[in-house]
Amino acid sequence: MTLSLGVAELDRGSPSVDRMLKTADERTYLAKRAGRNRVVAEDGTGVDLRAAS
């Protein structure tokens, strides 16, 4: 089993919940393209979960 995640934050400065979900979705696809077992944050930084374990 593998895991690819996109992460976005909703705060007072965020335009909307819809925009936050769109950003998280976009980051999920970036994580999938970068390889298996990755997390990509809203700012585009990523983590390889295999290296973190």
Helix, strand and coil in the chain, % to nearest 5: 40, 15, 40
CA distance linking residue 13 with residue 53, whole number of Å: 33
Q: What is the pTM of this model?
A: 0.77
Q: Domain residue spans in the chain?
A: 4-52
pLDDT tens-digit readout, 1-53: 888 999 988 888 777 889 889 999 999 999 999 888 999 998 888 888 877 65
pLDDT at 52: 60
pLDDT at 4: 92
Phi and psi angles of residue 26, each rounded to the nearest 5 degrees, phi first: -60, -40
pLDDT at 11: 80
